[in-house]
Chain A
Amino acid sequence: MAVSELAQILNDDRSASAIKLVLCVIAAVSASAFPIVAHAMDASYYVVFVTRILIYALAAVSLNLVLGFGGLASFGHAMFLSLGAYCAAVPTVYGVNGAWLHVLLALTLGCSLALLTGLVVLRTRETAFIMTTLAFAQMLYFLLVSLKQFGGDEGLNMQSGSEIAGVQLSDNNVLYFVSLAVLAAVVLFQRRLLHSPFGTIFRGVAANEQRMKALGYPTLLYRLTAYVISGGLCTVCGVLLANLTLFASPSYGSWKASGELMLMVVLGGAGTIGGPIVGAAAFLMIEEVTKGVSPHWPAYLGILIIAISVFSRNGIWTFVRRNRS
């Protein structure tokens, strides 16, 4: 059931052929077998690296919900990431290690923050929207920097990871499978959401807000709901990120981090379901490779980003799919 649905997602059309189904099964099996193979080959580092990709893919998928499908270019989405990281790190300081509690806290605070900021930012359009989301992200950034009792700008080291069913979420293999499962669940959820009446109206609002208003839909409410869902998911992603690094830092929410999230979405293909995942993987791999090649890697990364934004308008995912059909 889940696999056939995954196949449909990867196509995004209703006629999932057998070949694509097989491809999806192969992908699912290889994703599950990956840590075992990696450990066998004594390359545990890559488990951590792929987990990082999975976590950032999740953040990019949640940003894509508003950016790709809703046309809302949020330049402050990393703020939810840093909030989530602190939702995991701060309770552990007081010895509260339950993973579900961290996630619940992240969801509550993340959705509240998205609701409050959304009420302001969604009143603005285009450039002003980009700027206001950035402004709120900066506010949270400076707020976290000023929390001296939780490390200030040096960040907060976690003594232990979140605990789930007696195991540490920060364990490499546990975190890998949890991230994989959460990513798969969110992708399925997003597909269902976009094809639901809510999702159809939401995409309609992005395409032509005036018309949807004229049809009598409260457009702000639809955009706000999507913004809250996206923010909440991204905050949960922050909990996973904190467990990956055992560290929470305001820099997770810096404006450069927000820019990188946007980049992942656009690189893979905004407004497609598989795009952000491909984009996150491509971005982190490019970063990893250029880091290994030269100490001046940011410059090469920058040149690559410029080239991508000039030459590839629709992202890797769209490019691959168009050339195949």
Chain B
Amino acid sequence: MAPSFIAFQLLNGIQYGVMLSLLAAGLTLIFGIMNFMNLSHGAYYMLGAFVGATVYNKTGVFLLAIVGAVLATMIVGAVAERLVLRRLYRSDHLHQVLATFGFILVFDELAKTVWGPAPYYMSVPPMLSGSFDLAGVPFPTYRLMIVAVGISFAACLYVVIHRSRLGMLIRASSHDPEIVAAMGVNVKVLNALVFTIGCGLAGLAGILAAPIVSIEPGMGSGVLILTLVVIVVGGVGSIKGAFLGAILIGCIDTCGRVFIGPSLANVATKQISGAAGPALASIIVYVVMAVVLAWRPQGLFSVR
């Protein structure tokens, strides 16, 4: 295998990882800081993709599509939080799982009703449709843009959480919400804010991914499960863990899909490698997660 091919796949993995990190950052905040088990996070990713793609197809302005997707998911998230999820912060994880499971059903059906069951498409904005030469490896400009946007958002989030007063309050309330409330901070507003920001990040990931995936109802489920894997591997509640875990999982998943099949073909018969290759490629991230949990149950980059 040519080194440039390997480098190209690694870049693809990093791009996928950066996109996952946007989802993981939001979910890890909701998970780790509000101790809220949110399964509907993938649905906001789907919503972002649908709304953003629609705005882009109607107006042709990519920036407007991004703003639209993020705003729409933040509004929907804020409403869901205010009306329903807020009541569940103090109940056990089981009820949270169920309620957010219900939201997935509602959002998926909503998307199916509004946009139809068939995949919806959005083309790559012409300004970003070329490819960029990275030390001899041509890489699509659009994917490079995703990496740039994702890394800058992760950096911003890291600075906000670790260097600002708001971040300090958020971290404090993850540690002990009662004391933070007793100090006169409105924890309810803080939680609503964290949840809404998380939804906005998921929407951003959705619109960024929209031109390179097929947009369809239920697209959030697969991504959600991978995001959960990222969070558990990285360490629940850690922004750094979400980012590094996402890059790790993104690279392992992408490279697994590309390299495992051919490498197996070298050592096993065609029949075996044909059957085992795709299976191994699909399960490798879960194997990584199981190993990490057995070895370091708190995750690789845990804050605690």
What size tier do the contact residues of chain B reach?
A: 35 or more
Contact A306 B293 (CB under 8 A): no
A145 to B280, CA, bound (A): 11
Answer yes or no: A123 CB below 8 A from chain B CBs: yes
Answer yes or no: A39 CB below 8 A from chain B CBs: no
Quote the shortest CB–CB distance from A248 to chain B (angstroms): 17
Q: B218: nearest residue on chain A (CB-CB)?
A: A256
Interface residues in A121-159 (C-beta closer than 8 Å to B): 123-128, 130-132, 134-136, 138-139, 142-143, 145-149
Contact B102 A302 (CB under 8 A): yes
Contacts A135-B289, A259-B98, A302-B106 known; 4 new A-B pairs at CB < 8 A: A128-B297, A131-B293, A139-B287, A306-B84
Answer yes or no: B94 CB below 8 A from chain A CBs: yes
A126 to B286, CA, bound (A): 18
What size tier do the contact residues of chain A reach?
A: 35 or more
Quote the shortest CB–CB distance from A126 to chain B (angstroms): 7
Quote the shortest CB–CB distance from B281 to chain A (angstroms): 9
Contact B87 A127 (CB under 8 A): no
Which residue of the partner chain, among A127, A303, A308, contacts B93 with CB atoms under 8 Å? A127
Contact with A along B257-299 (1 / 0, CB 8 A): 0000000000000000011101100110011011001100100
- Given contact pairs A135-B286, A138-B283, A266 touches B294 in the complex (Cβ within 8 A): no
Chain B residues in contact with chain A, CB under 8 A?
31, 37, 39, 84, 87-88, 91, 93-99, 101-106, 108-110, 113, 221, 225, 228-229, 232, 236, 274-276, 278-279, 282-283, 286-287, 289-290, 293-294, 297
- Given contact pairs A73-B93, A298-B105, A145 touches B282 in the complex (Cβ within 8 A): yes
B contacts with A: majority SS: helix
Which residue of the partner chain, among A134, A146, A303, contacts B275 with CB atoms under 8 Å? A146
Quote the shortest CB–CB distance from A160 to chain B (angstroms): 26
A-B contact pairs, 23 of them (CB 8 A): A120-B293, A123-B297, A124-B297, A131-B289, A132-B293, A135-B232, A142-B282, A145-B279, A146-B275, A255-B225, A262-B98, A266-B95, A270-B94, A299-B109, A302-B103, A305-B99, A305-B102, A305-B105, A306-B99, A309-B96, A309-B102, A310-B84, A313-B91
User: What are the 4 tightest A-B residue pairs by CB atom distance, in nearest-first order?
Assistant: A302-B105, A305-B102, A146-B279, A142-B282
A146 to B232, CA, bound (A): 25
Contact B95 A303 (CB under 8 A): no
Quote the shortest CB–CB distance from B273 to chain A (angstroms): 12
Kindly list chain A residues whose C-beta atoms are within 8 Å of the C-beta of B88: 309-310
Answer yes or no: A221 CB below 8 A from chain B CBs: no
A261 to B186, CA, bound (A): 37
- Given contact pairs A135-B290, A139-B286, A255-B221, A304 touches B102 in the complex (Cβ within 8 A): yes
Quote the shortest CB–CB distance from A293 to chain B (angstroms): 13
